[in-house]
Amino acid sequence: THKNHPCSLWARQSKGNFYWLIGYGKELCKEYTWRYKRKHKSKKVIDWCNNNKDLLIFQSADIQTFTQALPDRYKCSSPIQAYREYYLKEKIRFAKWEKGREAPDWIIGNHCTTVISQ
């Protein structure tokens, strides 16, 4: 359903991108299972991709620059910084840390600063 999403296009650019995304997806599924004691539905798709990844042909083997699928005002040379800023400014209102996980340090320190400055 999201075959033309910027991140989907990025994943298809190279073997390195595709393999990285499989690893990332597997880690997200582990985190989901740890928190909710059940498997996320995407795990089956990720496992299928992992089991069939060697059948795919890519034009490049190297990992490419990460796509940033967020508003232009947050994009910068560091995807990590870009997404952190995006989540702090636009997604913090629904963020919850429960089920045994605490908010990461970059949220705790910055969120206090953001709330005070508003």
- pLDDT, one tens digit per residue, over 39-91 is 999 999 999 999 999 999 999 999 999 999 999 999 999 999 999 999 999 99
Domain ranges, residue 47: 1-64
Based on the fold, state whether residues 14 and 59 are members of the same structural domain: yes
Is 9 found in the same domain as 53?
yes
pLDDT confidence bin for 109, thresholds 50/70/90 = confident
87 and 38 within one domain: no
* Tokens found for residue 13: 């650019």
Q: Within this chain, do residues 1 and 41 fall inside the same structural domain, yes or no?
A: yes
- pLDDT above 60: residue 115: no
Predicted local confidence at residue 76, as pLDDT: 96
The answer to whether 29 touches 40, Cβ cutoff 8 Å, is yes
Chosen domain end from 36, 64, 92 = 64
d(CA 71, CA 77): 14
- Residue pair 82/74 in contact by the 8 Å Cβ criterion: yes
| DSSP tally for the chain: helices H, then strands E | 5, 0
Q: Quick one: pLDDT at residue 95?
A: 85
| Token duo for residue 9 | 């296009």
Whether residue 45 is found in the same domain as residue 89:
no
Separation of alpha carbons 43 and 104, rounded Å: 24
pLDDT on residue 88: 94
Please report the pLDDT score of residue 94 as a whole number: 87
112-115 long-range Cβ contacts below 8 angstroms, 24+ apart? 114/88, 114/89
Given a cut of 80, whether residue 114 has pLDDT beyond it is: no
User: Which of the four pLDDT bands, split at 50, 70 and 90, describes residue 117?
Assistant: very low
C-alpha–C-alpha distance, residues 40 and 102, integer Å:
21
Within this chain, do residues 56 and 87 fall inside the same structural domain, yes or no? no
